[in-house]
Amino acid sequence: MNEQETMLNLNKLGFDDWFAAQIAESPAGANSITRVSAVDRGAVLIHNGVAELPAELAGRFRFSTAAAADLPCVGDWACVQYHNGGTTAVIHGILPRRTFLRRKTAGRDVDLQMIAANIDTAFIVQSCHYDFNLHRLDRYLVTVNDGGIEPVLVLTKTDLVAPEELGKTVAAIRQAGITAEILPLSNTTHAGMDGFRRFLVPGRTYCLLGSSGVGKTTLINRLLGREAFATRATSHTGEGTHVTSRRQLIVLEQGALLVDTPGMRELGMLAAGAALDDSFGEIRGLSRACRFADCRHAGEPGCAVRAAIERGELAADRYESYARLKKEAAHHEMSLVEKRRKDKAFGKFLKTAKEQVRKK
């Protein structure tokens, strides 16, 4: 392929002027740009706009990367060198990320885990049957805002609830101060699917976020027009279960790109920062009227947030969700700083020990 054909193929995968400007950051040894389309237990697939092929990390890149979050994830633009007649590739680095999805690693370990990168819009999927949960929705919105991604709410399984119940769910979202666009649909009756398809723009990258069983995989199968991905049998609650564990980039026939993310049992807040305040904009606005700039809204005199709760202008449940997420994010952030401090100290210890061995 000539350079013009190569760029055309990359543009179909979402490559634009912003990423082109980052090519100056390409590491030595790389001579091509591709997109990471799947990562599964260390195995990496890349897409060059024509085909997918396996890739491995260059040794220097792997061992010089200080944090796992800086290694390639789905959606990254990888700087590669082809081998074996273009059938395999070695990744020498990745371009800077424009947007990202990340969370605290599952379990007790406190570290950042990348979910996906360079996403334009995140579809936050909840079933309006059994799965709908405003607190979980708040958590997803903070995660999406943290990475600079546009959120859209997708309410699935509308065929399992009466129109009045669906209306109450939408009203509850709006009453919580959430202004993101809402797309109700049914994978069974196909109601709302045309509106969802019209939302997809060629060359833009989307992702599906949500718990297992809310209909993400079925939605992908509907968009593809075939049963490309399997789900387990539906349970008595009306929820199916996703059997895929890896994250992958899917190129839809109409040209949009979709990242499928398996349902996550944990979505820990970490390094949320301003994203938390952005997700609770009404609380941030009220805070500006507090008597004290460092008001913790915990009984201080002149607290505008507490006053709004007492007047019924701010739901106590909404504030409790904000306070819970803020406390969690602060705790995990302190733990992460402490972990990195210990890692740095241990690295210095190893370096000193090696130097002493050499001197002997």
pLDDT in tens, 207-223: 999 888 888 888 998 88
Which ranges in the chain are annotated with CATH 2.40.50.140?
3-94
Domain 3-94 is in which class? mainly beta
- The model's confidence at residue 41, banded by pLDDT at 50, 70 and 90, is confident
Residues 35 and 12: beta-carbon distance below 8 Å: no
Which ranges in the chain are annotated with CATH 1.10.40.50?
274-354
CA distance 195 to 198: 5
**Cα–Cα nearest to 298, from 309, 285, 288, 312:** 309
Rounded to two decimals, the pTM is: 0.79
In tens, the pLDDT along 314-347 reads 888 888 888 888 887 776 666 555 655 655 655 5
Looking at residue 17, what is its pLDDT?
94
Q: Does residue 190 surpass a pLDDT of 60?
A: yes
Q: Does residue 105 surpass a pLDDT of 80?
A: no
CA distance 135 to 128: 14
- Reduced to 3 states (helix: H, G, I; strand: E, B; else coil), residue 150 is strand
Considering the domain 274-354 in this protein, what is its CATH number?
1.10.40.50
More confident residue, 183 or 175: 183
CA distance 312 to 180: 23
- The model's confidence at residue 66, banded by pLDDT at 50, 70 and 90, is confident
Which ranges in the chain are annotated with CATH 3.40.50.300?
100-260
Looking at residue 15, what is its pLDDT?
95
Structure tokens of 297? Answer: 């809204």
More confident residue, 356 or 8: 8
Q: Does residue 151 surpass a pLDDT of 60?
A: yes
Q: How many CB atoms lie within 10 A of CB 67?
A: 11
Q: Does residue 349 surpass a pLDDT of 60?
A: no
CATH 3.30.70.3460 fits 100-260, yes or no: no
More confident residue, 234 or 11: 11
More confident residue, 335 or 243: 335
Looking at residue 347, what is its pLDDT?
57
DSSP for 94-152 reads: EPPPSSEEEEEPSSS---EEEEEES-SEEEEEEETTTT--HHHHHHHHHHHHHTT-EEE
**Cα–Cα nearest to 182, from 195, 165, 201:** 195
Q: What mean pLDDT is reported for the chain? A: 83
- Reduced to 3 states (helix: H, G, I; strand: E, B; else coil), residue 142 is helix
Query: What distance lies between CA 97 and its chain's CA centroid?
Result: 12
